Structures are given as C-alpha cells and as structure tokens.
Chain A
Amino acid sequence: MSDSYMVEPDVGFIKDVMKLGGQDLKKCYQCATCSVACPISPDNKPFPRKEMIATSWGLKDRLVGNADIWLCHNCGDCTTRCPRGAKPGDVLAAVRAYAVTEYAVPKALGKMVNDPSKLPILLAIPAIIILVVGMLTNLVGLGWLSFAPTGEEIWQNNYINNYLVDIIMIPTFTFAIVVFALGLKRFVADIHANALAEGKTDKQKIEPVAFLQALVRVVPTIAKHNRFSECGENKERATAHMMVLYGFIGLFIVTACFFVAEWVFHIEGPYSQINPIKWLGNIGGIALIIGGGLMIAKRMGQKEQTSSYKDWYLLGLVMLLGGTGLLTEMLRLGHQYGLMALVYFLHLIFVWSLFAYTPFSKLAHLVYRTVAMTYQEYSGRK
C-alpha cells in the first residue's frame, strides 16, 4: 500500500486566500472544466483543478511551493467557463499573492503591502526617508535638499539632488534584490520538491547551467508574450501587459544610462529634448500610462473577474509612476517649478515604493513566474 498523505487543513490559509481575491474558491465542485479550458495548462497533471481542491482543503504546503500556480497567466478562460462561479483564475491569483508573502522576508512587510489600511504608512516611509536624509545632507553641508532654489534653468535636481535620490534608491534596489534572492532560494527548492512529489518531473537535481540555459530559452517566450496569446478570453490584455512591461524596461534602461552619465561621466541634466535617451524615457512613460490605463479600463468593465486590492495597488502604482514622471517633465518645461518639485517628490515616493515593495506585491510575479516558467522548461513538463 502506498504512503498516505496526512491532511491537516489550514482554515486560516483558506480564509486568507478568500480575502486576497479568492472568495469563491469553495464553490468548486471539481468538475475539472477549468483544467480542460486552460490553453496553457500541461497535459500531465494539469492545473487548476488540483489547485482548487487543495485550496478548498486548506493544503497550504501543496500550493505555496507549487510552480503551477505561476504557470497560470490569469487569462480567465477557466473563470469564464466555470459552471459554479468559483473563478479558478482569481483563486490562483490569490494563492500567488499568498505565496509571494510567504517567500518575501520580512513577512510583516508582506502583510502590510497586502493590507489597504497600511498603505498610508507604506507611502510615508519613503517620504520621511527622502526628507530626513535630505536634511542630514543639508546639515553636513552637502545641501542636497532645497525648498526654494534659484537660477536660470531650474530642474528637479535643484530641489532634490540626484545624488540624494541615488544614495537612497541604490540601497533600496539592493534590498529588493536580496529579498528576491532569499525568497528564490527557497522557492526553487520548494517547486522542485513539489514537482518530484507530484510526479511532474523526472529530473532529480537542478543543474545550474542547464537551468540558466532554460532561462535563455524562456526569455523569447516572455518577450513575445506567447503564453498570453494562447488565451481565449482577455487576449487583448497581452498588448496592455506588453506596453507596461516594455515601458518599465525602457525606463529602466533610461535610468541606468542617466545613472552612468551622472556617476561616471559627471554629465549633469537636464538633457536636451532631442536626446534619444530622453525619447526612450518619454515613450516608456507613455507606454506605461496607456498600458496601465487599458488594464484599468478592462478590469472596470470585467464582471467575471474579481479585482482585489493587490490588483488595484499594482495598477495604481503603474499609473502614478508614469503620471508623476511625465507631469514632472511637463511642469518643468512649462516653468511651473514649485508644482514640479511637489510632483517630483511624489514620483520619488512611488519609485521607492516600486523598488522596496516589489518583492511583496503582485509585481513579484516578474521574478517568480519567470523562474517557474524556466523550471517548467528545464524539467521538461509538458
């Protein structure tokens, strides 16, 4: 007789997933329409049917470290076809949100990021950091924070010095990387153990080189959004998602270029509007706004899909990042310097939040899904 698995349902986990947008999970009656409907689910041990029963039985251990929850692209084909309105797509999204908070340390921060009542505190943190560090630089005579700068050509650097921004953002970015690294270490071990236990792979160990090769093979799939396009419902979401993704990538390149210009070549801004890097930045910002706007419009018009705080948090952040960035530029060009400074300050708060809270928020999918897809490629799961 094979080994039996001792089932000890975690009712707290069920309640948490319900709160994170999976409130209908218990409606599932295991017909497996979802697994059949899903265009990207593998043939061997397909999701999300098994995830639905595991969730309704509160089997946290079988979900958090399960790569399959990340293979789902939340297109909603399953939710549309679910005869009971259990919304498997949203349940998986909620389980992912739960998994993110499980892997990111400190856990308390993860809880805060997913709790709307804690949002003011989370936003106050970067505001205070910028002001306090700025004041400190003023105290030691660097004077990186100015409330009333004067001069011919005023830009945001005159109010909040780029060096001040960088000495705050670099450690924050590093913090995020470290949090991800720590989380991923456990994540990869867990998904491999889960795949072995559920018979989803025949690979006994993870070979780092082969794993990286798998990553290289997966990148074009992600870049082209191939998985998204397989979906029946919400096909158009691929475009919006691509705009936001490439908007972020563009802006990341721009930031990196200016960082190098500042610290290596000591070229000071503001840069000419015809500078191609500047173009890239503007296009990136606009892509972010349009992509984010499309996604918001779609969520507002979508009755089937549940939109919970974790979704609005991310979309809000995307819109505010793009919005405050572009507005700062427009206000500067329009010589509204006082207002510009205020908007720029807000922009910095959002940028900081983006860096610091990404490992705890829905945006963490950028790392976990990539790794899960890589693992799928590596393990040969079909």
Chain B
Amino acid sequence: MDKKYGVYICEGCGIGESLDVAAIKGVAEEEGYSCKTHPNLCGAAGVDFLKKEIEGGVNTLVLAACSRRVNFDTFRFPGCIVDRVNLREGVAWSHPRDKFPPLTEEQKADADYYDRVQMMAEDYLRMGMARVQKVTLPEPFKLEKISEKILVIGGGITGMSAALDAAKAGYAVTIVEKEAQLGGAALNWRSQLPIADPYDQLIPPVVDAKIRAVQTNPKITVKTNTVVARLAGQPGEFTVTFKKPGEKIEFDVPYPLPPEMRVDESGKELDAETLNKKYMEYNEGRVDILTLDPNGELFGAVILAAGWRPDTIEGEAYAHLGVGQSPDVVTNAQFEAIAKKGKIVRPSDGKPAKSVVFIQSPGKDADDSDFDFAGAVTSLVSLKQAKYVREDYEDGKAYVFYQHMRTPGLNENFYKSLQQDPGIFMTKGSVLNVSKNGGGLIVEASDTLLGKQLKVKADMVVLAAGMVPATKDDPVVNMAYRQGPAFRDIALFNGYCDSNFICFPYETQRTGIYAAGAVRRSMTTEEAMEDATGAALKAIQCISSTNRGVAVHPRSGDMTFPDFFFQRCTQCKRCTQECPFGALDDDAKGTPKPNPTRCRRCGTCMGACPERIIGFADYNIDSIGSMVKAIKVPSSDDYSEPPLRILGLVCENDALPALDIAALNKLSYSADVRLIPVRCLGSVNVIWIKDALSQGMDGVFLLGCKHGDDYQCHFVKGSELAGIRMKKIGEALASLALEVERVGQFEIAIDEYDKIPKIVDDFVASIEALGPNPFKGF
C-alpha cells in the first residue's frame, strides 16, 4: 500500500484552549506532512471532513484528538491506517493550565523558557507520525481447511448440556466419555437440588432426560469408553486421537523433559540435539507432537467438561472426626450412595439412621475453613441430605454444623424451606470431636449459636467432602503442545482448570479449549448447565473467529498475528517457552513453529525475542522503537536547565484506562513523561528501553497489571515476565555506568486511577535525584 499521509488536529474538548495548535501544526508541516485542524473532529461535520480527505486519497491518518479508547468506532475507516494521538486525556486534561501555566509573553521572548505541556503535545504528534510510517494494514490469517466440529470431553451433566446447546446452534458435536455410559456423577444421586423456580424442593435427577435428549440428537455423536490420547494442532484444525481408557498407543501424548533432565552435571542447559535425543528416549513408543495422526479426527474447538470426583477424607488429620474409627462416619458421597439404595441405614449394623450430623468444616484451626474443594455445593448437599433423613423417618433428626452456609442465588429458597422443617437443626460452630457412644456416636462442638459447647447424639456422621476437579489428577485434554499436555499453573486454583477466574470464565490458558462445570470450580447442576452454555458459546466464538482469521480473546477481532523472520532465528526457544498460551511448538532444532489460531496476540514472544525477529503488522519492534526515537530530548545545548525526559510504557488493558480515568478526574502528573501504550508488558522488548536511555532519556518505567497468585494480567504472565526482564536489564545498565534505578516497573489495577499521579511523580522525583542521563546530548 502506498501511504498517503494526513495529520488532523482536533481543537475541541479543551485542546484548542490549552495548546498552541498552530505550533503543533507547524511540527507536522516541518516534517513534511500535510496538516489540517478542525474544531470538532468526532462531530458529524468532522467525520465528513475526514471522509472527504480519504476520498481525496489520504489513507494513513494521524488524528491528534482524544484517547484511542473513546470514539474508536467513529474514527474507524476501512482500508486506512489510523493513529490516535492522545492530546485530550494525555495532555490537555491531565495537565490543566492552572497547574501547568503557559508561558507569559515575556517568557516567550526568552528562548531559555519552555512550555512543558506544549512540548508534550508536540512530542506525541511526532510519535504518532513516526509510528504510522512503520505499520501496515493487517491481513487476517486463514487456515486452509477448517473444522467446525466441537469436541466435548466428558459426558456428564455439563458435557451433555454443552453438546445440546452447541447442537441447537447448528454445530456438530462429539462427546467422549471415559465410562461405559453417559451421565457422570449425577447417575449416583437419589434426588438433586432444584434447578427452576421456586427453588425450594428437591427434584428427581435431570440426568436421565439429558441422556435421552443427547442420544436422540442427530448432531451429537457419543463415544463412550473413550478418552483423548492426544489433541494436536490448533483451533479450527485440532487433530484428535481417541483411545480406550488404559490403552497404550503411539499417539499417546509425549511429555516434556522434567527440568532435572534438561541440564548436564554442572547445571548447564544441554544443547538442542542432546535434549531432543533425551526427549525421544523419555517418550519412547510415542511420536513427537509435530507428527499429526493421519487417522485423527478434526475439530474446531474443545469444551472441557471432565467433571470431578468426590474427595476422600482420610488420615490422622481427621481422626478427631472419627474417620477410620467408625464405619458410621462417612463422606457425603458415601451417604448419597446409601440414600440411593433405599432408606438411610447405618453402615455398621444396618439399623435406621434417625439422627444424622452433617459436618461442614473439620474444626481444626482458628480459621476452620471448609473441607478441601468444598464450596456452596457442599453446603447445599448437606441440606439435601438432611432432607433425606426427614423423608425416610417421621422422627428423624438432622443436624448441620457449619462455619459457612453458602446457598447462593435463589438456592436461598431451598435453604429457607429446609429451615422450616422442625426436624432440621443448624448452627454455626467448630466441631471438636466425634466419639463412640455405645452403638452410636456423639458429636461435640464449641462456639455454636446456642452459646455453649454442646454435644448431640448421632447414628451417623456425614463429612462434607469437596469436589476434586478431574484436571487435578490428570491432564485429561492431553495437548500435543511443546509446553506439555496439561494446563500450566492450575495449582494456583487448586487444580481447577481456569486461567483467570476474575474476568474470563470458561477461558483456559489454551485458546480453543473452554472449561465448564465442576472442572472449573465446585458447582451445582444448575450452575453447571449454565456454565455449559457459556462454554458452548465460547467454542462457537472461537470457531467463527478462526474462520475469519481474527483473534478470539481477549483481543477479539484483532486481525494481526505474530510474524517471524526465521532467517535470523537463533533457536533460543525463548518465545516457545515464554508464550503464556503455548502457541508455539519448536521442532527438534528449536525453531519455533507458530500456531496462529492458538495465539492471543499479546506480543509476549515479541518481548522475549533477543533477535527482535517477531512483530505484528501494526505493532512491532520498529514501530514502537521509532516512537521512542521521535521523542525530542532537550539537552543543555537547548536550555540552560533542560527538562527531564522519561519514557513510560503502559499496558493498554488496565494502566491505559486508569490513565484516561485519571485525566477525566483532572488528576495530573509530570509533563516530562512520554507514554506509549503497549499490548501487554510481556510484549515490551528491552531494546526499546536501551534505545530510550541511549538517546539521552533519563528514565523508563513500565506500568502494568498486578501479577502474582492473584494476577490481573489479561495475558496471565505478561507483567510477571516483564518484571524478570527488567531485573536482567539492570545488569546491562550497570555495565553502561547507568543506575539500575533509572528503570522501574509499577503495578496498577484499572480502578486505581487515583494512584497514578503519585506513582509517576515519585518515579520522576527519583530520577531527578539521580540527575540527568550522562549520555544526554551525545
């Protein structure tokens, strides 16, 4: 595309009053751009004006107006490259003239005075103009052949519901179930929790109706007694090999070498060839991930509904609850099995269990959280099973000792209806112990609502065991990915399969694989059914996005994808290893093999690459590097007291919105910083920082999402990786005799806009204390 440039400056929203627009225009014209101003670019007249310009041949527009986070649809012109220079939020609003006064006429006459805010606006325009020279219009990545079929792993309530929903939307679905029949955990229940208004009674399990619906649906194929041996490829063309449970086949997924096998005696990483040899030995009998199964079945997207198993409560830690001492102390799953068989009887002697105590928390420590893997479901199940006792025996009594009684949503109605039963007794309390009392048991509890330490006689004691996700025990999906067959880092979520439980339900760390139901967190049938719908929609979104060659999530619709200049690749494998989504598989030599439809376009690979051979059409090493170089760094040659220049690379997911909100609230920060939005801190390549410092800028800071166990990073690992890289850059700076403190990284959440001025100004003050960059002016 032959670029024809046009620079347009908006004078509305306070820009015209705050800034010398004519001078800014001069900056553009000085560099040979045609530049026009308009009183209100986003108005109908302004948009018409821009359209006329486009008709006149302009195809690369630099709009110096408001933040790119607003009016993005107004300024979307198909076939054109548009850059948004943020004069409104970034300059005028965040640097109001009452705090940053303009130069007086006298000062203007003196060349040693400068207007910091005007300098900022002019720099931002230069940066915008530099960027548009280095970017191109993206073209979507399209697969040659695409499968629109959806694979559902798990034939329980969740899997069947997801399959039915996807089938209803017109998609062909295959369910794989490892057991001999469909149904999953729900097959073992006597009754289930309500799923519809008025939510106050137990209902017969809905699983039978689901099974019939699945079996009669022509769009659904069911494979029982089947598991996934490997899932290779990428969304839109996943190649899946099935097998019988327990079978050993050559397309069983290979495992990466454990870390201790990757190094030699001295702890040094082995070379690629040796590593590959060891890897092949380690996975003997299994073919490498890059070999596709010629008999594999193609799928577009996967719904992971592998479900759960009841937790076992065993060992010395639970001895005080009578575990292992009396057969009448059981888990809720064992109790359900007894209830499913008939009237509730004691396992020890088969006598009616008319007094049953349900224990929700083990009563071990001050915190006394529920049993592992418990949640609202265990609370609700205790209520359900208390009702069984009352159903079976007119004079039955059920006690529930809880620390947390969770009955979310309309399940409150169920709780209320159970509460009304005169034979059900509930209290908060810490269970101290369960002891034998003749043929029965005695449960002792303290800190109860009854105000005293108390004891109750029980025929049986039921412990609220939690729901262990299938992904805790087994990779299940068996991805033929270089990073391994299982989901990474799910230990953070107790083995539940989730990538970011705060913002993105269903999303796993692998694009195209969506988790639903109890594999995601402990949940009720009703929640699992709703979850299934969500995951089915995500799978459909994935297929249709892949079809159009755009990103699925969270940069939905992004047409760019990482482009590799392989001639210069040194096979260092950093991109493969650091990609948070396992999008890259390297070959035996270590050359990365991109899987564009697995990619989320965060740019972490671009940030990782030491050779700087990875980039996107509109976001690459050169585009950002040129912006950095476009910033004017005044030295003592220009002014007797030149201002500092500090570069801020800000994450566009949380930090940039927070900056805009700060500007909206008239919060201001130093006018000596120049901010560049980045896709993710993970995409920050250290070369930009080196460039900035070597051209005399005094400091560089990164502003991004929180990381750690409760990370808020949209790309899971970006801000964490940036932190690691910043630590490493410190050594390089030291060798240049630059202080490591010149580079900083700060965390911010989207709602912490009020903290921005302090973060920025404190950093500026710390740089001021260090003094100007010694390289300035060279």
Binding site for B on A (CB under 8 A): 1-9, 11, 14-15, 18, 26-27, 29-30, 50, 53-54, 56-59, 84, 198
Contacts and interface: CB of A to CB of B under 8 A. Distances in A.
Contacts of B492: none
B425 A3 contact: no
Nearest to B423: A11
B422 A53 contact: no
Contact of B416 (A14, A27, A59): A27
Contacts of A27: 416, 419-420
22 contacts: A1-B432, A1-B453, A6-B454, A6-B456, A7-B454, A7-B456, A8-B456, A8-B457, A9-B425, A11-B397, A11-B422, A29-B419, A30-B427, A30-B428, A50-B451, A54-B450, A56-B425, A57-B425, A57-B427, A57-B450, A58-B425, A198-B451
Interface string B423-446: 101011000100000000000100
B419 A5 contact: no
A27 B415 CA distance: 10
A30 B415 CA distance: 14
Given A2-B453, A7-B450, A53-B449, 4 more contacts: A1-B432, A8-B456, A9-B425, A26-B422
B455 A5 contact: yes
A26 B450 CA distance: 14
Contacts of B456: 6-8
B31 interface: no
Interface in B384-442: 395, 397, 416, 419-423, 425, 427-428, 432
A56 B423 CA distance: 9
A8 B428 CA distance: 17
Nearest to B452: A5
A57 B445 CA distance: 15
A4 B450 contact: no
B427 A53 contact: yes
Interface in B351-402: 395, 397
Given A4-B444, A5-B453, A7-B456, A26 B397 contact: no
Nearest to B456: A7
A11 B398 CA distance: 12
A7 B422 CA distance: 15
Contacts of A7: 450, 454-456
A8 B355 CA distance: 11
Contacts of B423: 11
A2 B455 CA distance: 12
A26 B425 CA distance: 9
B422 A14 contact: yes
B449 to A, nearest CB: 5
B455 A18 contact: no
A56 B432 CA distance: 23
A53 B426 CA distance: 9
A11 B451 CA distance: 20
Contacts of B452: 4-5
A87 to B, nearest CB: 13
Contacts, number: 59
Q: Sorted from nearest, which 6 A-B pairs have the closest CB atoms?
A: A4-B455, A14-B422, A4-B453, A5-B454, A5-B452, A26-B420
A53 B419 CA distance: 12
Contact of A59 (B395, B397, B444, B450): B450
A247 to B, nearest CB: 40
Most buried by A among B397, B425, B427, B444: B425
A26 B419 CA distance: 6
A77 B428 CA distance: 26
Contacts of B455: 4-7
Contacts of B427: 30, 53, 57
Contacts of B451: 50, 198
Contacts of B457: 6, 8
A1 B452 CA distance: 12
A59 B452 CA distance: 13
B489 to A, nearest CB: 39
Interface string B452-469: 111111000000000000
A122 B397 CA distance: 37
A56 B416 CA distance: 13
Contacts of B395: 11
A54 B451 CA distance: 10
A37 to B, nearest CB: 18
Contacts of A4: 444, 452-455
A11 B453 CA distance: 21
B306 to A, nearest CB: 36
A15 B454 contact: no
Contacts of B416: 27, 84
A3 B450 contact: no
Interface in B747-773: none
A23 to B, nearest CB: 9
A9 B397 contact: yes
A45 B556 CA distance: 59
A15 B453 contact: no
B450 A15 contact: no
A6 B420 CA distance: 23
Contacts of A6: 454-457
Contacts of A29: 419
Contacts of A5: 450, 452-455
B498 to A, nearest CB: 31
Nearest to A84: B416
B660 to A, nearest CB: 41
Given A4-B444, A8-B457, A27-B416, A58 B422 contact: yes
A89 B543 CA distance: 61
A9 B357 CA distance: 13
Contacts of B421: 26
Nearest to A56: B425
A94 B75 CA distance: 72
Contact of A3 (B422, B449, B453): B453
Contacts of B453: 1-5
Contacts of A59: 450
A56 B450 CA distance: 10
B429 to A, nearest CB: 11
A6 B423 CA distance: 17
A260 to B, nearest CB: 52
Contacts of B422: 11, 14-15, 18, 26, 58
Most buried by A among B416, B421, B450: B450
A12 to B, nearest CB: 9
Most buried by B among A5, A6, A59, A198: A5
A34 to B, nearest CB: 13
Contacts of B397: 9, 11
A1 to B, nearest CB: 8
A14 B425 CA distance: 11
A6 B454 CA distance: 6
A1 B455 CA distance: 13
Nearest to B445: A4
A59 B454 CA distance: 12
Nearest to B394: A11
